[in-house]
Amino acid sequence: MKDTTNKPVLLTMRNIEIEGRSDETWSPIIKGVDLTLNKGEVLGLIGESGAGKSTLGLAAMGFTRDGCRISGGTIDFDGIDLMKASEATRRGLRGKRIAYVAQSAAASFNPAHKLIDQYSEAPVQHGVMGRAEAESDAVELYRRMQLPNPDEIGFRYPHQVSGGQLQRAMTAMAMACRPDLIIFDEPTTALDVTTQIEVLAAIRDIVAQFDTAAIYITHDLAVVAQMADKIKVLLRGDEVEEADTRTMLASPKQDYTKTLWAVRSHARATQPPVEKGTVPVVSVKAVTAGYGPIDILKNINFDIHKRRTVAVVGESGSGKSTAARVITGLLPPRQGQVLFDGKPLPPDYRQRSRDQLRQAQMIYQMADTALNPKLRLRELIGRPAQMYLGLQGKALTDRIRDLLNLIELDPDKFIDRLPSELSGGQKQRVGIARALAAEPKFIICDEVTSALDQLVAEGILKLLDRLQTEFDLAYMFITHDLATVRAIADEVVVMQNGRVVEQGPKDEMFQPPHDPYTELLLSSVPEMDPDWLTKLLKERAEKAS
């Protein structure tokens, strides 16, 4: 990491206040934040969802989204007062001296124009270079961003290029005018871990090569540790603390930061091996399944035992969610079958008996869409108990109250609430209670923590762990997050392109030797160590040569 403390100041934001409009009133989003950035310096801006990171990042360009306004403070960019400057002056800076890289490159590239036309637009419009010059420059930058076929990729339309490549093309586009400052707004959040590495490396290199200052916005601590010289932590529109990266990682001062930094404290104790001859609760036997003519799952086998958690790991498109759909009966397999307690389940859920449906429950990733927004908790949680167990009247109410107690929500307060009156973590707890209400033997957890902030997610994992012991449950845990796997799994199934590439007990999985794909997956997960990316790239380069 470079020393930028002695360089001249590029951007100064003082006491910034930003408000957002909702229901005809203005409410604060950013409550008086200061920010100073030197030339060539990279600032990591981190915080959970709703912390105001993006809003603050855009404000550095003198820009607010519709329905927001900067209500106080000063912004000084290299001697220019952005608050007082005319819109034309600000427009002259944007794209030329301050550039922006958005989270979703697929949505942020105009579908009607070729990549290279969109690249050369800013330099030509700002009068930095001519069109021909801009186009040859584009090819040069595409090459530096390590895009395949740099000579011709620019002549494609956005929808003809993959997500990871688009994100690199967008970074190249931001570099077109060689700006002094780039705002990166969660540029790798939408990407798979193995793709993320390449994009992170490319961004870091190019920023260093051109000595560009950057504000790197993310919620991922390990990512920001690789990218930033210094880190600022935001919480609900307020600054928590700021320090250079190594200091911040080694000794955070504020309690909130310490909780963010703490390595997942929850880790499941190693369970004794399952006795030979035990009949698994769920057994997936030689399943091949897919939609239309395409097989998404190819000859999948795995077992899930009582009181055990099997984590199914893979990137998007690996088929892990499809496996869940086969087990629940939403997608009847083409070949193979699913056994429950040793007996085959009918392939289609419509042919399954009520008791078979009751035994296998599901918890979803997005609690927002998994709970009917028009039903109160009483009915959401009560319905399975009423349907499967025939509970009525007081018995039903008592059962609902017990379930609410189990998920640590106060029945008196919560029983008649609507999902919209709950926080994200509480909604996910209700999802768990609904599954428990059926008194199942087996629960599928589909990315249950990936939409939640870290602390809340940890609470959910602890709860699931406790319930498993209490009710002898078998879990199938679908996730792309290896930290979650470490925390909760007994066994791991690694999937790639619809096949199981490796499976076995957790402890073995995290020890070498690995299958090459597992190796790639494991090594691609960013770690808190600021030197991790550098070391990894060096290792991979050595292996390759």
Smallest distance, Å, CB 134 to other proteins?
Answer: 13
| 205: enclosing H helix or E strand | helix 193-209
Footprint of other proteins on 374-393 (CB under 8 A): 374-375, 383-384, 387
The verdict on 108 binding other proteins (CB under 8 A) reads yes
Check: CB of residue 238 under 8 Å from CB of residue 29.
no
Q: Which region among 62-70, 221-229, 252-260, 273-281 touches other proteins (by CB under 8 A)?
A: 62-70
Tell me whether residue 437 or residue 487 sits nearer to other proteins (CB atom).
437
Whether cis (ω within 30° of 0) applies to the bond prior to 512 is no
Rounded to 5 degrees, what are φ and ψ at 96? Answer: -95, -55
Q: What is the DSSP string of 219-230?
A: S-HHHHHHH-SE
- Which two three-digit tokens encode residue 305? 């035992």
Residue of the chain from 43, 56, 233, 362 that contacts other proteins (CB under 8 A) = 362
Q: How far is the CB of 453 from other proteins (least distance, A)?
A: 20
**Of the listed pieces 119-127, 403-411, 457-465, 517-525, which binds other proteins according to CB under 8 A?**
119-127
Pick from 49, 71, 149, 160: which binds other proteins (CB under 8 A)?
160
Among residues 26, 256, 261, 349, the one that binds other proteins under rule CB under 8 A: 349
Instruction: Scan residues 1-40 and list those touching other proteins (CB under 8 A).
Output: 23-24
Q: How far apart are the first and last CA of the chain?
A: 26
DSSP lists the bridge partners of residue 496 as: 499
| Residue 363 β-bridge partners | 445
Nearest C-alpha neighbor of 120 from the set 155, 83, 168:
155
Cα separation, 88 vs 70, in Å, equals 18
In the bound state with other proteins, the residue whose beta carbon lies nearer, of 172 and 438, is 438
Please report how close the Cβ of residue 522 comes to other proteins at its closest, in angstroms.
30
**305/352 with CB nearer other proteins:** 352
Q: Does 351 sit near other proteins (CB under 8 A)?
A: no
Does residue 292 interact with other proteins by CB under 8 A?
Answer: no
Residues 486 and 481: their CA atoms lie apart, in Å, by 9
Q: Contact letters (x/-) for other proteins, 240-279, by CB under 8 A?
A: ----------------------------------------
368 to 242, 416, 446, 452: CA distances (angstroms): 33, 17, 14, 11
Decide: 241 and 249 in contact? Cβ < 8 Å.
Answer: no
Q: Does 79 bind other proteins (CB under 8 A)?
A: no
CA separation for the pair 411, 16 (Å, rounded): 42
- Kindly determine how many residues on this chain lie close enough to bind other proteins according to the rule CB under 8 A: 55
- Amino acid letter, 372: N
381, two tokens: 């949680």
Looking at the chain, the number of H-run helices and the number of E-run strands are 22, 20
Q: Distances in Å between the alpha carbon of 136 and those of 116, 119, 151, 227? A: 10, 11, 9, 28
Per DSSP, the three-state class of 499 is strand
Of 477, 423, 77, 129, the residue nearest 302 (C-alpha): 477
- Interaction with other proteins in 473-492: which residues (CB under 8 A)? none
- Interacting residue with other proteins among 41, 46, 96, 533 (CB under 8 A): 96
User: Is 451 near other proteins (CB under 8 A)?
Assistant: no
178 near other proteins (CB under 8 A): no
CA atoms of 226 and 216, how far apart (whole Å): 11
354 binds other proteins (CB under 8 A): yes
CB of 275 to other proteins, least distance (A): 31
Whichever of 95 and 347 has its CB closer to other proteins, that residue is: 95
Report yes or no: 488 and 461 within 8 Å, Cβ to Cβ.
yes
Task: Please pick, from the candidates 6, 86, 265, 369, the single residue that binds other proteins as defined by CB under 8 A.
Answer: 369
Which residue stretch of 103-111, 255-263, 284-292, 527-535 sits at the interface with other proteins (rule: CB under 8 A)? 103-111
Question: Which residue in 107, 262, 286, 455 binds other proteins (CB under 8 A)?
Answer: 107
For the sheet containing 230-235, what is the strand order?
98-101, 181-185, 213-218, 42-46, 230-235, 238-244
Residue 214 forms beta bridges with which residues? 42, 182
Of residues 339 and 451, the one with the C-beta less far from other proteins: 451
CA separation for the pair 147, 142 (Å, rounded)? 6
Choice from 91, 236, 268, 307 touching other proteins (CB under 8 A): 91
Q: Which two tokens stand for residue 284?
A: 């997936």
Nearer to other proteins, 119 or 517 (CB): 119
Tell the smallest beta-carbon distance from residue 543 to other proteins (Å).
32
* Interface region with other proteins, contact rule CB under 8 A, candidates 29-37, 55-63, 404-412, 497-505: 55-63
Single out the residue of 366, 415, 483, 522 in contact with other proteins (rule: CB under 8 A): 366
Residues numbered 311-330 forming contacts with other proteins, rule: CB under 8 A: 328-330
Residue ranges that bind other proteins, judged by CB under 8 A: 23-24, 58, 61, 63, 65-66, 90-96, 99-100, 102, 104, 107-113, 121-122, 125-126, 156-157, 159-160, 328-330, 349, 352, 354, 357, 362, 364, 366, 369-375, 383-384, 387, 434, 438
